[in-house]
Amino acid sequence: MLSEVVIAAAKESQRERRPGLTISGVFPCPYHIYKSYTGWGELPPLEGEEILNMENGWFQEEESVKALKRAGIVVENRQLEVRVGKSERVGHIDGTISLNGKVMLWEHKARSMESASRLREKGLKAAPEMKSQVQLYMGGLRGLGLDVEETDIYIKPKDNNIPFDFIERFDLEFFHMVAGWIDRVILEKWIPEPKDCVYCPSCYMQRYCRGDILIDFSGMETLSDDELVKKWRLGKQYSDFGKELVEGARNIMKAKFEESGLEAGDSMLVGPLKVKKYTQHKNVFVQEKFVKKFGAIALLDVMEKQNIPVYRIDDTEEGVVL
């Protein structure tokens, strides 16, 4: 019960999100920059879990600073303000470090194991918003007279706390391109057209930009069992972009299960995939009963128990290569 109170209190603590653009919110897309500056419209509030994760990232950064200090590396200029472009967009860096007489930007990211693994494998190709952020930070530091040529991207996986890092070099052409887009949007009132680009699948605002997502499930209901199984396996193999694919296949399999007349605890095969229905029993937060003036502690009085159907899909032909 205490966990529900903590999560709900975190959700209620958030302030109204206002339009604006800081360096940390820049994505390498003119339309994304325009919408971030002028506003995306009415967005749903962040969930309490999201806020707790963001706050945990700040705590994780403090741990990394202490670990580096123990190793003889001091993070300096923490939260130093930098400004970029004629529009003077503001940002605050995580810090700088000095190695062999060379000053480098230090950018800290605490990530889940899945996110950290993508960054380890693909670098900033897996995080274009991070590339924009550090490139603009480096440009801002150079404007302050610091001859910064590189950023140490320091990743701290939350699952095992074993860090890794890699280097991002300053890209003058990329810096001028993104800073130029920002100045055009702010100073020239430029309204760029939304266009698909290579970064769209990685964009966290994709749903609000396009009105949909890149993966289309409109024809999935007509798939044969073999085709449905292939879709499910393909989604599992490419988990970074396949989660929506798996969920779409899962929904169709749930519908098949319900239509079969089977009960909770029974199993059904869809090709080689076994679908089994479970019933979870858990306390849930009924949000409409929460009245702000009573505070988060009032949640203890509004809990009610619900039965939640859960579906589990196991591949009975492990090791199949598509």
The per-residue pLDDT for range 298-308, each reduced to its tens digit, is 656 656 667 77
Q: What distance in Å separates the CA atoms of residue 39 and residue 41, rounded to the nearest whole number?
A: 5
Residue 296 reports pLDDT greater than 70: no
What is the average pLDDT across 253-263? 84
Q: Which CATH class is domain 16-210?
A: alpha beta
- Please give the structure tokens belonging to residue 164: 């890794």
Looking at residue 76, the DSSP 8-state letter turns out to be B
Q: 227: how many CB neighbours lie within 10 A of its CB?
A: 14
Instruction: Read off the amino acid at residue 158.
Output: K
Q: What distance in Å separates the CA atoms of residue 116 and residue 121, rounded to the nearest whole number?
A: 9
Phi, psi of 126 (to 5 degrees): -90, -5
Please report which confidence band the pLDDT of residue 139 belongs to, taking 50, 70 and 90 as the band edges: very high
The per-residue pLDDT for range 269-289, each reduced to its tens digit, is: 887 888 888 776 666 555 555
The per-residue pLDDT for range 184-214, each reduced to its tens digit, is: 999 999 999 888 777 777 787 776 676 554 4
Q: What distance in Å separates the CA atoms of residue 53 and residue 91, rounded to the nearest whole number?
A: 21
Q: What distance in Å separates the CA atoms of residue 4 and residue 287, rounded to the nearest whole number?
A: 11
Q: What distance in Å separates the CA atoms of residue 24 and residue 133, rounded to the nearest whole number?
A: 5
Q: Is residue 306 a contact partner of residue 285, using CB atoms and an 8 Å limit?
A: no
When mean pLDDT is compared over 31-45, 181-195, 215-229, the highest value belongs to: 181-195
Q: Give the residue, 180 or 9, on which the prediction is more confident.
A: 180
Q: What distance in Å separates the CA atoms of residue 292 and residue 290, rounded to the nearest whole number?
A: 6
Residue ranges of domains in the chain: 16-210, 220-315
Looking at residue 192, the DSSP 8-state letter turns out to be P
Q: 50: how many CB neighbours lie within 10 A of its CB?
A: 14
Nearest Cα neighbor of 225 from 245, 259, 249, 243 is 249
Q: Is residue 180 a contact partner of residue 190, using CB atoms and an 8 Å limit?
A: no
DSSP SS3 for 134: helix
Task: Supply the Cα-derived Rg of the chain in whole angstroms.
Answer: 24
